[in-house]
Amino acid sequence: MPRPRIFDEDRVLQDVMKAFWRKGYLATSAEDLVKASGLGRSSLYNTFSSKAALFERSLDCYLTCTRQVAKTLSDTEASPEAAIREVFISALEPEVPERLGCLVTNTAIELAGQNERIAKMLQRHFDLLRQAFTEAIKRGQRNGEFNAELDPTGSAELLLTLLQGIRVQSKSATDSLILERTIDQALRLLH
């Protein structure tokens, strides 16, 4: 019998997530969130309690979304090398004019050091990504694309770390040429 909501919670989380993604947690004001979501202040606070809680749910949204993308690494159809390259190329985000980077990387730097809950979320995410890389590498070794001598887990961690490093450098890079060559180097490591 209550008055029904006129907005979709997931749609709001998506929009709010993009706002946090663009400017970071601190630099995004409640006013920004109101504008990004299209809701009134009351509705936002009624459904999400606080800016901090809203951010956590946005981050969670981003994490699951990113994991979906990382599923291509475990996809048994595609070539592991192509899948890995795809993940790295998307980090350069050549289509986006603003340098958004990655919400995971951004959050690790901005909040993980001081917020244990956030740190835990990110750590779990890194674990999952590392696992996905590991599987892709093992698959590549089985079908002969990659060097069978390599330690899959160690190489996966190397890729994961390189990915984060690319995310950092792409924030200040004017051209992505050097980073593209880094991706080539990283993939050559696996052969």
Q: How many residues bind a second copy (CB under 8 A)?
A: 48
- Smaller CB separation from DNA, 32 or 86: 32
Cα separation, 151 vs 153, in Å, equals 6
Where would I find the H helices in 38-191? 41-48, 51-74, 80-92, 103-107, 116-142, 152-169, 177-189
Q: Assess 49 for contact with a second copy (CB under 8 A).
A: no
Residue from the set 112, 128, 131, 138 that interacts with a second copy by CB under 8 A? 112
Q: What is the rounded CA–CA span in Å between residue 152 and residue 139? A: 10
Give, as ranges, the residues between 116 and 135 that touch a second copy (CB under 8 A).
118-120, 122-123, 126
Which of 35, 50, 71, 82 binds DNA (CB under 7 A)? It is 50
Output the smallest distance, CB 38 to DNA, in A: 9
Cα separation of 105 and 170, whole Å? 12
Taking residues 61 to 90 in sequence order and writing x for each that binds a second copy by CB under 8 A, - otherwise, the string is ------------------------------
- How far is 106 from 20, CA to CA, in rounded Å? 10
Residue 7 within binding range of DNA, rule CB under 7 A: yes
Of 85, 103, 114, whose CA–CA distance to 180 is shortest? 85
Check binding of 177 to a second copy (CB under 8 A).
Answer: no
Say if residues 140 and 190 touch (Cβ distance below 8 Å). yes
Q: Which residues contact 175 (CB under 8 A, 6 or more apart)?
A: none
Footprint of DNA on this chain (CB under 7 A)? Answer: 1-7, 26, 28-31, 39-43, 45-47, 50-52
Footprint of a second copy on this chain (CB under 8 A)? Answer: 23-24, 26-27, 98-101, 105-106, 108-110, 112-114, 118-120, 122-123, 126, 151, 154-155, 157-158, 160-169, 171-174, 178-179, 181-182, 185-186, 189
